[in-house]
Amino acid sequence: MQKKLAITGLAFSICFSTFSFAKDYVIGVTQNNVGVDSYQTTYDIALKDTMTKYPNVEGIVLDAGGNVARQIAQVQDLIQQEVDAIILWPTNGQALTPIVRKAKQMGIPVIITNSNISEKGQEFITAFSGPNTITQGQYAAELMCEGLNGKGQVVQITGQPGYQTAINRQKGFEDSLAADCPGVSIIDSQPGDWNREKSQRVMENFITRFGTKIDGVYAADDNMGIGALNAIKEADLKNIKIVGATNFAVGYDAIKEGSYYGSVVQSPVSDAIAALAITMKILNGDKVEKDNYFDTPKVTLANIDEFERPVF
């Protein structure tokens, strides 16, 4: 059905785009923060490109710019426009729950993409599409344990506080390490907010406090891991094992040169394609699973040639 596309009440002119094709369905998308890193930028491009391949879809693609209040307003506006479905990349898994509940009450399916919403919000969503971020944390713990031969002290740089991926990757890492690798202990954790420069400062502080007592660093994504690597190089420290996640191009290159122990592979292109495919199944009346995870294998120098260098 054709839906009204006029944006109501809010000035989103600098952060949305609309695709004009045959219009059986209108899908509203609100993303986290497209400009924050190359993963989200690549996802945005892939999503828009994939959307053009569905001739019966019209899309409203928004970017919350990392602002929770803006994203809540964007979802509210999409509800008022009576879109057929909403794809949501939450800026904060807790704060979005009330507006997701409202979308469900209005009969609009919400598909969470990339980073899940909080446990309280699960009953209001139709499906999740993305990586299993708890498993990614477990994989990182396995890599760290392997890299340190089961013994050592590590520091942890987490993602943005309140962001479900950050929460899950931290939980998966800490729980797995405690259960399966008791000889490796975490001596401190600090947020790096998915930001390379902030993570470098966090690592500089760790080095000031702990110095050569640090055997390993776990960063919740490779962007932050490279920030830590830069601080380690500047301090001229050796033999510190760094494990990250998402396998950005910079992480891939660092693994190849031997300065970075490992990561987990995750494609923003596959992420975007999967979110849209799940949404189309729902709109077409097909049955889908609540959680739809794609594989994110571990990568180290031993197997890196099995994977293509990331484009982000």
Q: Which residues pair with residue 58 across a beta bridge?
A: 26
Measured between alpha carbons, how far is residue 162 from residues 48, 64, 191, 198 in Å?
A: 27, 16, 11, 17
Interatomic CA distance for residues 88 and 36, integer angstroms: 17
123-170 confidence digits (pLDDT tens): 999 999 999 999 999 999 999 999 999 999 999 999 989 888 999 999
Interatomic CA distance for residues 110 and 115, integer angstroms: 13
Q: What is the band of 10 on the pLDDT scale with cuts at 50, 70, 90?
A: very low
Amino acid at 163: Y
33-51 confidence digits (pLDDT tens): 998 778 999 999 999 999 9
CA atoms within 13 A on the CB side of 198: 13
User: In the chain, count of helices (H) and strands (E)?
Assistant: 9, 13
The angle, 0 to 180 degrees and rounded to 10, between the axes of the packed helices 268-283 and 38-51 is: 40
Q: What is the band of 110 on the pLDDT scale with cuts at 50, 70, 90?
A: very high
162-196 confidence digits (pLDDT tens): 888 999 999 999 999 999 999 999 999 999 999 99
Q: Domains in the chain, please, with CATH?
A: 25-131+268-295 (3.40.50.2300), 133-266+300-306 (3.40.50.2300)
Coil, strand or helix at 63? strand
Mean pLDDT over each residue of the chain, to the nearest integer: 92
Interatomic CA distance for residues 266 and 165, integer angstroms: 13
Residue 138 has a pLDDT of 98
Interatomic CA distance for residues 213 and 198, integer angstroms: 22
pLDDT mean over 211-217: 98
pLDDT surpasses 50 at 6:
no
Residue 163 has a pLDDT of 87
Residue 4 has a pLDDT of 36
Residues 166, 199: contact at Cβ < 8 Å?
no
The whole-model pTM stands at 0.85
Residues 140, 172: contact at Cβ < 8 Å?
yes
254-299 confidence digits (pLDDT tens): 999 999 999 999 999 999 999 999 999 999 999 999 999 999 999 9
* Least confident among 23-37, 102-116, 196-210, 297-311: 23-37
